[in-house]
Amino acid sequence: MFSKETLKKNRAMEGRWRKRVGKKLGEKQLKAQTSGRISLKAVYTPSDIKDINYEDIALPGEFPYTRGFDPLRYQVQGWMMRQPVALGSTKDTRERANFLERLGWGLYIGEEEKNKRAYVGPALDIPSQQGYDPDAPEARGRVGRDGVSLSTMWDIEKLYEGRNLERTEMFWATPDGTLPCVAQYIVYAERHGVAQEKLRFKAGNTTYRQWYWDSAAYPPKEAIKLAPELISYLIKHVPMAQLQGITGYNPAEAGATPVQEVAFGLATAIAITEECIKVGLNPDDFVPNFHGHDHTSLDLFETVAKLRAKRRMWAKIFKERFSCKNPESLRLKNYPQTGGSLLRRNEPENNIIRVTIMALAQVLAGSDGAWTASYDECSNIPSEKAAQIALRTQQIIYHETNIPAVVDPLGGSYYVEWLTKQIEDEAYSLLEEIDRRGGYLKCWESGWLRSELAREARKWQEAIDKGEKVVVGVNKYVVDKGDHLPLFRVDPKVEEEAIGRVRAFRAQRDNERVKVALDALRGALIRIKGDWPASCGIFMPALIDAFRADCTIGEAQGMMKEVLGYGYT
Amino acid sequence: MGIHNKRIKVLLAKSDQDAHDRGIRYIAEVLRDAGMEVIFIRYRICDQVARVALEEDVDVIGMSFYSSGYTYDIPVVLKLLNEKGKKVKFILGGIIPSDEVPRLTEMGVSGVFGPDTPTNKVIQCITS
C-alpha cells in the first residue's frame, strides 16, 4: 500500500521512536491488550498494514465492504433505531411507544416526518418467549414483568390497534417463538385486510442463541430445521421480510471474545445457509435478507475493527464458499446492541456514559442500526426517563456531532486497519477449527463451543475479581455499595389480568376447531422431525391455520416443544 | 470421617426460562474449587428446587435470577422446605433489587450477591 521510499522513511522514523521510548521506559515493559486479549503496541505505522491488500479495504460500497456497503452511509439515510419497547400490559407498551414517538423515535434516525415509518419491536415477557400462556404454572410470577405478555389475538389487537401495518416494521424479541409470532401476525393482518405480501418485519428465529446459555427449547438438529422452514415460506409469501437473525451479541454476552463472536456468528450463518441449500433453496434468494445483531463493548476501536472485519469476512465467505452472485448476499446488514453485561448497578448514571461510548462504536463502524440500552437496564426494564435518555443519546450523536458527515471515518487508520486484519485472521483460524470439528452444530453437540465460552467468561470475571480489569465505581474508586436506582416495577395485577384474558379468550372460541388445527400442527411437526428435508414447507401453513382457528402462542409453541423439543412432558 | 470434615453440599438452581447463566456457572466453579460439592440444575417449576434439595440433602441452596421470577419462586421454595423441616442456608444471586433485600432476609435468605460481588464474600457467607 506504500511506496518503498515511504516505507524506508517510516523505518527510520520508527527507529528514532523506539529510541525515545526506550529512554522513557527504561526497564518497564508495556503490556496493553484489547478486551479480547489481542496484544497491542503503543503506536501503529505504515509497517503494520503494508501487507494488507488495498483492495481488501477499498471504498465504501465496494466489495468486500470493509468500509460499509453504502457509498454514502448516514448522509443519505440514518441508522435504524432498534430500541425495543415493551412492558407490562399491551396498553402500557403502546403508551411507552407513543411517548417515544413524540420524542422523534421512528424506524430510521433523522427521517423526515412525511416519510416516517414506525418500528414496533415488542420484547416479549419470558413466558411468551418460551411459549407459556399467562395461566401456565411455568409463567407464575413472570407475566408482563420483563416485557409484554403476548398470547392471544386479543393481545395483538391491542398492541397494534390503529397502526398502518404497511408503514410499520415489526420485530419480535423472542428466540424460540418467532414462527408462532410471525404466523399470528400474518393472520392478524389478514383479518384487517392487509395481505401478507405487504408486510414488513424482521424475523429473528435465533433458536441457536438459546444454546449459549442453556435455555434452549430445541436441540441443534431440530432447531436448525426451523430456519429453512420459515425462510422458504417467507421468500414465497412475504417478500419484504427480513428472514433470519445472525447474532454475535448473545455469544459475546455469554463470554465470547470479539474473535470468537465473529467466528461463531459467521459459523451460524454458514450452518443455516447449508441447511437451506439442503432443502433446495438458492442462497442468493435468502442471504440478502439475513440481518446481523452484534455486540458492542467499551473497547471502542476493537469494536469498530470487529464490525469491519465481520463485514469483510461475510462478503468473502458468501462469495467464495457459497458462490453467491447477488451483490446483496455479500452485504451484511448489521444492527449492533450495546453490551448489557457492561452496565453496572453501582452509580448507575455512569451507564449513560458507557452506552454513549458503545453507541459511538456502532456509528463509527457504519452500522445499519444502533441499539442503545437504557442506563437502568442492569436492574430492570427501562423506566420512561431512562428510555428517553437512551433515545436522546442516538439523536445527539446523529444531529450534534457531525460524525455522520463522513463515511467510515476511521478507515485508513493504521491501528484500526491493523486490528481489523488481526481479528479477521484470528477469526478465520477459529472458523477453520469449527470446520475441522464437523461444523457449528457438531461443536454444540460435542460441548466444545460451550466450554470455549465458559473458559473466557471465567477469565473475564476472575480479572474483575482480582481488580486486573478495572470497572470504575465497582472495583476501583468505590464510594458506595448500594444501587440507588429508582426502581421501575410492573404492577403484579398485570399477571392476574392476563390470566383472566387468556381464559376468557379460550372460552369464546370454537375449541373443536382449535383441536383439529393443533392436531394438524402435531402431524406436520412429526413429519418435520422424521422426514427431513422432504417435509420442509409443510409446517408454516399449518401454523398459520392454527392461528386462523384462534390458537394461542403457548399452544402453538408448546406443540413445537412437545414434538421437536428436549422431551418436555 | 467426622461431621466437621463433611464436604459442604450446595445446590445451585436457575429457572430454565431465565437465560443468563454466566454468573451462576462461575460461582459453581468457584465453590467447587473451594472444596464444596456442587449440584447445578435448571428447573422448569420452582417446586423442583425443593425436591432436589431434599433428595440430595444439601446444606446450601443458591438461586440466580436475571428476571423477575424470584418474587414468586423464593417464597414457594422456602415454604416447601419448611414444611419438610429441612434447614438450609439460602443464598441468592443475579439481579435482585437492593430494596428487596430486607424482605428476603426476613423470609430466611442469608445473602444476596449481585453481579461483580467478590467471590470470597459468597464463600464466607456459606462457611460462616
Determine the pLDDT at residue A490: 80
**A-chain residue closest to B97, CA distance:** A379
Nearest to A563 by CA among A150, A152, A209, A225: A225
Q: Do both A149 and A58 map to the same domain?
A: no
Residue A414 falls inside a structural domain: yes
Backbone φ and ψ of A329, nearest 5°: -65, -25
Interface of B with A in 25-44 (CB under 8 A): 25-26, 29, 42, 44
Q: Do both A443 and A536 map to the same domain?
A: no
Q: Do both A107 and A68 map to the same domain?
A: no
Quick check: B16 contacting A, CB < 8 Å?
A: yes
Q: Do both A152 and A264 map to the same domain?
A: no
Contact A262, A213 (CB under 8 A): no
Q: Do both A184 and A88 map to the same domain?
A: yes
Mutate to test the interface with A, among B67, B71, B76, B103 (most CBs of A within 10 A): B67
Break chain A down into helix, strand, coil percent, rounded to 5: 55, 5, 40
Q: Do both A144 and A55 map to the same domain?
A: no
**Domain boundaries, position A165:** 83-202+491-564
Nearest to A108 by CA among A70, A74, A146, A81: A81
B13-57: pLDDT as tens digits:
999 998 888 999 999 999 999 999 999 999 999 999 999 999 999
Pick the CATH number of B3-127 from 3.40.50.280, 2.60.40.10, 3.40.50.720, 3.30.43.10: 3.40.50.280
B59-115: pLDDT as tens digits:
999 999 988 899 899 999 999 999 999 999 999 999 888 888 999 999 999 999 988
Paired residues of A370 in beta bridges: A81
Confidence label for B2 from pLDDT (cuts 50, 70 and 90)? very low
Minimum distance, in Å, between the CA of residue A35 and any CA atom of chain B? 17
Determine the pLDDT at residue A486: 66
Confidence label for A569 from pLDDT (cuts 50, 70 and 90)? very low
Residue A429 falls inside a structural domain: yes
Determine the pLDDT at residue A506: 98
Q: Which grid coordinates are listed for A483? A: 444501587
For the entire predicted model, the pTM comes to 0.95
Confidence label for A7 from pLDDT (cuts 50, 70 and 90)? very high
Mutate to test the interface with B, among A133, A148, A214 (most CBs of B within 10 A): A214
Q: Do both A454 and A560 map to the same domain?
A: no
- The 8-class DSSP code of residue A476 comes to B
Of all residues in chain A, the percent with pLDDT exceeding 90 is 82
A80-99: pLDDT as tens digits:
998 888 777 888 888 999 99
Q: Do B22 and A142 touch (CB under 8 A)?
A: no
ipTM computed for the complex: 0.91
- Chain B environment of A138 (Cβ under 8 Å): 17, 44-45
CA angle A39, A44, A49 (to 5 degrees): 95
Q: Do both A281 and A400 map to the same domain?
A: yes
- Chain A environment of B72 (Cβ under 8 Å): 140-142
Contact A430, A260 (CB under 8 A): yes
Contact A301, A345 (CB under 8 A): no
A264-295: pLDDT as tens digits:
999 999 999 999 999 999 999 999 999 999 99
Residue A485 falls inside a structural domain: no
Confidence label for A378 from pLDDT (cuts 50, 70 and 90)? confident
Residue A474 falls inside a structural domain: no
Q: Do both A105 and A167 map to the same domain?
A: yes
Q: Do both A275 and A325 map to the same domain?
A: yes
Q: Do A457 and B29 touch (CB under 8 A)?
A: no
- Chain A environment of B21 (Cβ under 8 Å): 213-215
**A-chain residue closest to B44, CA distance:** A138
Q: Do both A178 and A279 map to the same domain?
A: no
Quick check: A137 contacting B, CB < 8 Å?
A: yes
Displacement of CA A135 from its chain's centroid (Å): 30
- Give the integer Cα–Cα distance in Å for A392 and A99: 13
Residue A6 falls inside a structural domain: no
Q: What are the boundaries of each domain within chain B?
A: 3-127
Quick check: A468 contacting B, CB < 8 Å?
A: no
DSSP-derived 3-state class of residue A296: strand
Q: Going by DSSP bridges, is the β-strand pair B9-15/A244-247 parallel, antiparallel, or unpaired?
A: unpaired
Q: Do both A92 and A197 map to the same domain?
A: yes
Please state the domain count of chain A: 2
Residue A108 falls inside a structural domain: yes
- Chain A environment of B44 (Cβ under 8 Å): 138
